Amino acid sequence: MQKSFIEIPSGHPFPLYNLPYGAFEHKGKTSIGVAIGDDVLNLTLLEEKGLLKVGALNGKKVFNHTTLNAFLATGKSCWSAVRQFLIHLLAVDTPDLRDNEALRRELLIPQSQILMKMPVHVGGYTDFYSSLEHATNLGKMFRDPTNPLLPNWKHIPVGYDGRASAIVVSGTKIKRPKGQLKIGEDAPICAPTRQFDTEVELGFVIGTGNELGYPISIDLASDHVFGVVVLLDWSARDIQRWEYVPLGPFLGKNFGTTISPWIVTMEALQPFSVQGPVQDPKPLPYLSRQNTNFDIDLHLQIKTQKMDTYKEIAHTNYKYMYWDLAQQVAHHTVNGCNLQPGDILGTGTISGPTPGSYGSLIELTWGGAHPIHLNSGEERTYLADNDSMQVVAMAKKGDLCIGFGGAEATVLSADDV
Ligand code: CA
């Protein structure tokens, strides 16, 4: 594996091979960059100085914006060409930047000195429901323990259109939502949620979209996807339970969704590709292709106000998902719906087969019946005010290890002003 002239310890989430993209603020200016070790390479400045020498871009400026949308719209061959150029520029054998200290100081900024911003403008957000284990667990709790899966589930990658404007970058506090709760036989009330939960997911970032009316075929679906972020889908279970029939999630979900600031590219993820689970019954022809997932470990962690460090409460993996990314894209567009650069497709909660691998509090505590005991002496079923949740994700294969940088947020009281 090629090394960088920047010293990066083994096991670091951002080796030369990874180069995830993000938007960051430094000295009052927002720029685009890639993470390399503990630094960020300022691509906005690199381009401005005429040093981004990538023929595929045809002299077009793509990083002179505060989000990545213009770059995403250039397409797969440009993404790949820029990646190859950056790997070469940062490689140990390339002197251009390595031996020019003044330029290096200008272009490489320690991540400790930057503030991460939303990497893309999200125009559309869709959340799927593609984990068989999660759909089964929720079906048992919300509906029928003996028949948890609805008849459509193994035929359709079930999803709903979420709220793009409420997607925020890691570190943004999430306020406890108020809404209608229906408790027992009493009349509904409007109050802060008592069942504040979160779901561990990945969010796939669409690169190039499709014209309204023209579906993306399953064979071309993955070419339209630029990269992946970690996603926390905040959920108010009591609001959700009362409102979701017949049109699905609404106010139980659209008050906040956290994403990690660094987008790991699909190209960097290729070595971690694995076959998905057997699909029976066989999906319809427009969804038929070997389903492929990625071997990405996700760790869900909690920290209350009384705790100094995060405690892991679940460890799951994206490889368990029943419906894969290409099937989600093909299904999303089969009716002609148009995806656009910067759209995010949430995978749905990533739950594995064992209780320690469930990706939400409602599953981990089985509807609140089995509280989680913390080393602070506290216990949790759902989230209390000032609790923080974090997901850290990492893919490993032999010596190759790439990280996502994590998504984290703290719960604010419903009355916070
Ligand atoms: Ca979700």
pLDDT digits (tens, 9 = 90+) for 56-67: 999 999 999 999
Between the CA of 22 and the centroid of ligand 1 the distance, in Å, is: 23
Q: Is the pLDDT of residue 1 over 80?
A: no
Quick: pLDDT tens for 378-397.
999 999 999 999 999 999 99
Give phi and psi for 114, each to the nearest 5. Answer: -120, 160
* Three-state DSSP class for residue 155: coil
Segment 265-324, tens digit of pLDDT: 999 999 999 999 999 999 999 999 999 999 999 999 999 999 999 999 999 999 999 999
Question: For the whole model, what pTM was predicted?
Answer: 0.97
**How many angstroms is it from 321 CA to the middle of ligand 1?**
13
Domains of the chain: 21-117 (2.30.30.230), 125-412 (3.90.850.10)
CA distance 281 to 240: 30
Token pair of 272 as six digits = 């971690």
Cα 398 to middle of ligand 1, angstroms: 31
Q: 136-185: per-residue pLDDT in tens?
A: 999 999 889 999 999 999 999 999 999 999 999 999 999 999 999 999 99
Q: What's the gap in Å between 388 CA and the centre of ligand 1?
A: 18
Nearest to 159 by CA among 352, 359, 346, 358: 346
- C-alpha of residue 347 to centroid of ligand 1, in Å: 7
Whether 121 sits among the annotated catalytic residues: the reply is no
Given the residues 26, 65, 134, 299, the one annotated as active site: 134
pLDDT band (50, 70, 90) for residue 239: very high
* Alpha-carbon distances, residue 404 vs 27, 237, 293, 391 (angstroms): 25, 28, 16, 9
| pLDDT of 2 strictly over 90 | no
